[in-house]
Amino acid sequence: MSRADLAYSTAVEAIRSRGRFGISLGLERVTALLAHQGDPHRELHGALVAGTNGKGSVVALVRAALGAAGLTVGTMPKPHLVSYRERIAIDGEALTPERFAAAIGRVLPLADRVAVSLGSPTEFEVLTAAAFAELAAAGVDLVVVEVGLGGRLDATNVLDPGVAAITNVQHDHERHLGRTLAAIGAEKAGIIKPGNLVATGASGRGLVPIQERCSALGVPMRRAGRGQAYRAEVRQAGWDGLVVDAVMPGRDLNGLHIGLLGGHQAANAAVALAVLDALAEDASRRGLAHPVDEAAIRRGFAAARWPGRLELLEDQAYGRVLLDGAHNPAGARALAAALAELGLRRFPLVLGAMRGKRVTAVLRALAPLRPRPVFTRVADGDALEPAALLRTWQRVGGGGSVAPSPAEALARAASLRTSADEPIVVAGSLYLVGAVRGILTGEVAA
């Protein structure tokens, strides 16, 4: 093992060891970690993106459009699918092992100091502090940062980049965020700060606390969705993505190609357009030119990719495999709609899930397509047992089978194909998607 590989593996083990601290919401520890580094996050401008679903897609679309305009963009995708290096990215490229190890190595001694008075920083807090410092040191033009959980007390909320975006408000993580849409919306609205520009695709009860927060702070809100100033209607959906007719103030973008699969991406595209408009206004406030014109939007949206989210891979051994991290009812409904758009029914399905998720509702969303499921689990203590998933499925969807590992589940699903080009669908957990993606691409989990 090279010195660089050893440094990286040491950094990863140090981060993993902090997983034992679990989820511990609050800003005190990450604030202290950043203060010890000179508050590098205060140098970052861009957008902080919260929401139940669609955060990653909106980040991918916005980043791609900004990149097409020649801007350098930092992102913090989460969770990583295969490698921890994915958690800090510049222009869509993960840090090298050496650079990642150095970034983490600078934060770990500070975490020990913070632990004395505030308790041990979590894995996510260490990653967040390292990412903000690294992106600031890299001098990126903008950051587009995805919130981890909720918003108000999430570690990323120490950042005030100028634009706050909330994709939507739906049920998920109720144990931490509350059981009503109003409560969940209030947690997400907590990312909105004085002077921010706000973009949201939320509607109904989940929108109310966002409106109230904007009103209380006197900040403007851009709304995206049907009947709003930013909207997109699907013209065509297929294996090469979407074509939508989109509208934003002062501009019609008819025939806009989106490189992401699924009709639900039209709603995400509308939010992304609102975010881009807000970023342009924020740049103007700071006396900067904002070069994202229609041509950059078209190039960027067409080129946008979001690994593990309705991502189609081709493999010599397993054929076509469609990966999607749908893990809550709304995500499962979006997946089911996308599969129906693509004409898929009775397909082989590999599914795993984590404890605390609304598994019955997820399975009910997929049941009308009559898939042939193989239930499995990832090597995580919070993963549900395949046999328990099968019992739930038998109540809502019919027969199925179990496999003890993702690799065995993938092989069994391949044997269920009725034609060579029929895809295997993998869903239910991003951790499962990451494990399968590693098998297909040959990437080693690290």
pLDDT digits (tens, 9 = 90+) for 185-205: 999 999 999 999 999 999 999
For the cut 70, the answer to whether the pLDDT of residue 60 exceeds it is yes
pLDDT digits (tens, 9 = 90+) for 131-169: 999 999 999 999 999 999 989 999 999 999 999 999 999
Mean pLDDT of 206-210: 98
Mean pLDDT of 23-34: 92
pLDDT computed for residue 340 by the predictor: 96
CA–CA separation, 183 and 414 (whole Å) = 43
CA–CA separation, 313 and 194 (whole Å) = 43
Query: Are residues 60 and 194 located together in one domain of the fold?
Result: yes
Mean pLDDT of 299-305: 98
Band of residue 376 on the pLDDT scale cut at 50, 70, 90 = very high
384 touches 353 (CB < 8 A): yes
The encoded tokens of residue 155 equal 């570690």
Mean pLDDT of 238-264: 97
- Domain for residue 2, yes or no? no
For the cut 60, the answer to whether the pLDDT of residue 332 exceeds it is yes
Beta strands (DSSP E) in 79-226 are 89-90, 93-94, 142-146, 162-166, 197-200, 221-223
- Domain for residue 241, yes or no? yes
Mean pLDDT of 416-434: 94
Bridge partners (DSSP) of residue 223 are 200
Backbone angles phi, psi at 314, to 5 degrees: -110, 130
Mean pLDDT of 74-92: 95
Helix (H) or strand (E) holding 348: strand 348-351
For the cut 60, the answer to whether the pLDDT of residue 47 exceeds it is yes
Helix (H) or strand (E) holding 430: helix 430-441
Band of residue 3 on the pLDDT scale cut at 50, 70, 90 = low
For the cut 80, the answer to whether the pLDDT of residue 4 exceeds it is no
pTM score over 0.95: no
Compute the 3-state secondary structure of the chain and give helix, strand, coil in percent, each to the nearest 5. 45, 20, 35
What is the sign, positive or negative, of the torsion defined by CA atoms of 370, 371, 376, 382?
negative
Band of residue 348 on the pLDDT scale cut at 50, 70, 90 = very high
Query: Are residues 268 and 393 located together in one domain of the fold?
Result: no
Mean pLDDT of 214-236: 98
Q: Which of 275, 303, 331 is the last residue of a domain?
A: 303
For the cut 80, the answer to whether the pLDDT of residue 105 exceeds it is yes
CA–CA separation, 443 and 446 (whole Å) = 9
For the cut 90, the answer to whether the pLDDT of residue 319 exceeds it is yes
361 burial (CB, 10 Å; 0-12 / 13-18 / 19+) is middle
Query: Are residues 75 and 105 located together in one domain of the fold?
Result: yes
DSSP strand pairing (73-75 vs 142-146): parallel
CA–CA separation, 139 and 133 (whole Å) = 10
Query: Are residues 51 and 154 located together in one domain of the fold?
Result: yes
pLDDT computed for residue 19 by the predictor: 75
The pLDDT mean for the chain works out to 94
Q: Which alpha helices (DSSP H) does 304-403 contain, by range?
A: 329-341, 359-366, 386-396
Dihedral angle computed from the Cα positions of residues 360, 361, 365 and 371, in that order, rounded to the nearest 10 degrees: -10
Cα–Cα distances in angstroms (integers) from residue 53 to residues 166, 170, 335, in the given order: 10, 8, 12
Helix (H) or strand (E) holding 231: strand 231-238
Query: Are residues 59 and 190 located together in one domain of the fold?
Result: yes
pLDDT computed for residue 327 by the predictor: 86
pLDDT computed for residue 1 by the predictor: 52
Query: Are residues 315 and 267 located together in one domain of the fold?
Result: no
CA–CA separation, 438 and 446 (whole Å) = 10
Q: Which of 258, 286, 303 is the last residue of a domain?
A: 303
Band of residue 2 on the pLDDT scale cut at 50, 70, 90 = low
pLDDT computed for residue 172 by the predictor: 75
Query: Are residues 399 and 252 located together in one domain of the fold?
Result: no
- 162: containing domain: 7-303
pLDDT computed for residue 289 by the predictor: 86
Helix (H) or strand (E) holding 157: none
- Domain for residue 1, yes or no? no
Band of residue 227 on the pLDDT scale cut at 50, 70, 90 = very high
Cβ count within 10 A of residue 234: 18
Query: Are residues 294 and 351 located together in one domain of the fold?
Result: no
The encoded tokens of residue 80 equal 């990583």
423 touches 344 (CB < 8 A): yes
Query: Are residues 237 and 110 located together in one domain of the fold?
Result: yes
The encoded tokens of residue 79 equal 């969770």
CA–CA separation, 375 and 52 (whole Å) = 25
For the cut 90, the answer to whether the pLDDT of residue 365 exceeds it is yes
Query: Are residues 295 and 322 located together in one domain of the fold?
Result: no
As a whole-number percent, the residues of the chain with pLDDT over 90 amount to: 86
pLDDT computed for residue 79 by the predictor: 87
Band of residue 446 on the pLDDT scale cut at 50, 70, 90 = low
Cβ-Cβ contacts under 8 Å for 49 (sequence gap 6 or more): 55, 58, 59, 62, 144, 145, 146, 147, 165, 166, 167, 275
CA–CA separation, 348 and 426 (whole Å) = 9
Total domains in the chain come to 2
pLDDT computed for residue 5 by the predictor: 65
Query: Are residues 403 and 429 located together in one domain of the fold?
Result: yes
Q: What is the CATH number of the domain that holds 40?
A: 3.40.1190.10
Mean pLDDT of 419-424: 94
- Domain for residue 446, yes or no? no
pLDDT computed for residue 22 by the predictor: 62
Q: What is the CATH number of the domain that holds 402?
A: 3.90.190.20
Q: Which of 303, 322, 340 is the last residue of a domain?
A: 303
Higher pLDDT pick, 290 / 209: 209
Query: Are residues 44 and 84 located together in one domain of the fold?
Result: yes
CA–CA separation, 373 and 48 (whole Å) = 37
